[in-house]
Amino acid sequence: MTATTTFAPLQNDTFLRACFRQATDHTPVWLMRQAGRYLPEYCATRAKAGSFMGLATNVDYATEVTLQPLERYPLDASILFSDILTVPDAMGLGLSFAQGEGPRFASPVRDEAAVAQLAVPDMAKLRYVFDAVTSIRKALNGRVPLIGFSGSPWTLACYMVEGKGSDDYRLVKSMLYSRPDLMHKMLQINADAVALYLNTQIEAGAQAVMIFDSWGGVLADGAFQQFSMAYTAQVLAKLKREHNGVKIPRLVFTKGGGIWLDEMGTLDCEVLGLDWTVNLGQARAKVGGHKALQGNIDPNVLFAPPAQITAEVVKVLESFGVPHTDTTQTGPTHIFNLGHGISQFTPPDHVSALVEAVHNHSRKMRA
C-alpha cells in the first residue's frame, strides 16, 4: 500500500533495542492508551471529531491525537490511535460507541448461522487505519518508533459474541463450552484477519506490532491455551519478521496471563507484556533469557502524589533489576509501561512524574 514511502531515520531507537533484548542507556517507557481522555487536548480533538469513531477514522485527527502525549512527555514510543474492534467492524458487525457506554456491535455473533457468515474482511475497509499509520509515521519524523496493534483472536471473539463489554463472559463462554466447533471456526477467521491486518500495518509503516489479549485472563486453565494462546501463536507465525530490511518486533500482552507465564514464554514473539500482579524479578528469572518484558505498574499509582509515584516506579524498576548492559550481546531487558490502559481520571502532570522517574532511576541503576 505504501511500500514506496520513505520515512525519516529513527532518532530514538531505545524501545526497539529493548524489544530485541539489546542494551540501552535507560529503560524505555510508553503507556498503554497514552493518547486518551486524561489529556484535555485529546478531549478537544475528540469534540471536533464528534465521536470516537469519527476520531479513529479521520487520518488527520488520528495523527494529531497520537502525537499529543509526545508533546507533553519524553516517551520512547508512540502507538497508533485506533480501536481493537476495527476488524470485527470491517466484518460487518456494526460497531458503535454509545455515549459513556463503551463499544457495542449491532449484529453480535451468537449462533451457527452468524458464524457461517464471518470471513476475513477486505482490508480496503480498513484503509483508514493503514492511512493513519503512514500519516503518523510521517508526522513522527523519526522521533520515536510507531507501534501498530490489534486485539487478539480471542479478545475479538469476546466482543463479537457478547456484543459489548461483559463482566462474566457468559455468552462467549457458553458458546465455547457448548459449541467448541463454532468457537474454533470464529477464532480461525479472526486469526487470519488479525495477521493480515497487522502485516498491512507493517507495510504502511508500523515499526513494531502488539497483540492485545485483553480478555485471555478470563479463561480457565486449559481453555486459555486452546482458545486464546493457540490463536495468538497462529497470528505470530504469520507475521512479517521484517519490512524493507528492518526487523519488526512482536509484542503480546495477556491481561491476567501471568499465571501462564511459563507457557507464554514459548510464544514466538520478542516481548511479553505483564500486568501488575506479576513479580518482574520472578518473570525475568522464568522467561527473561529469551523474551523482553514490558510493564507493569498499576495505573492507579498515578492517583498518588508525585513523591509516591516516584517511589512506586523505583519499586517496579528494582523488581526487574539492572537490565543487561553489554552492547556486544543480547540479554534481559525491560520496557516500562502500565499494567493496563491509563485511566481517564489521571492528572496529566502525574504522568510527567512517572516518565521522569523511569528515565532518571533507570539511568542510575545502570551507572
**CB 341 to its own copies: min, Å:** 10
The residue within the footprint of its own copies, chosen from 226, 279, 330, 352 (CB under 8 A), is 279
- Which range binds its own copies by CB under 8 A, 55-63, 120-128, 275-283, 357-365? 275-283
344: nearest Cα among 300, 307, 284: 300
- Distance, in Å, from the CA atom of 296 to the CA atom of 337, rounded to the nearest integer, reads 6
List 21, 33, 250, 284, catalytic entry = 33
- Distance, in Å, from the CA atom of 15 to the CA atom of 3, rounded to the nearest integer, reads 23
- Residue count (the chain): 367
Question: Considering only residues 157-196, where is the footprint of its own copies by CB under 8 A?
Answer: 167-170, 173-174, 176-178
Residue (51 or 174) nearer to its own copies, CB: 174
Output the nine-digit C-alpha cell for 134: 503512514
Residue (103 or 145) nearer to its own copies, CB: 103
Residue 33 designated active-site: yes
Residue 181 designated active-site: no
For the chain, how far is it from start to end, CA to CA, in angstroms? 45
Q: How many residues bind its own copies (CB under 8 A)?
A: 39
The answer to whether 2 and 134 are in contact (CB under 8 A) is yes
Task: Report helix, strand or coil for 357.
Answer: helix
The residue within the footprint of its own copies, chosen from 222, 326, 349, 367 (CB under 8 A), is 222
Binding flag, residue 52, its own copies (CB under 8 A)? no
The residue within the footprint of its own copies, chosen from 73, 154, 212, 224 (CB under 8 A), is 224
Residue 46 designated active-site: yes
10 Å Cβ neighbour count for 94? 13
Cα dihedral 26, 239, 236, 117 sign: positive
- Distance, in Å, from the CA atom of 333 to the CA atom of 23, rounded to the nearest integer, reads 7
Question: Considering only residues 255-274, where is the footprint of its own copies by CB under 8 A?
Answer: 256, 258-259
Task: Report helix, strand or coil for 95.
Answer: strand
What is the binding site for its own copies (CB under 8 A)? Answer: 167-170, 173-174, 176-178, 217, 219-224, 256, 258-259, 276-280, 296-298, 300-301, 303-305, 308, 312, 315, 319, 339, 343, 345
Q: Which residues are catalytic?
A: 33, 37, 46, 83, 159
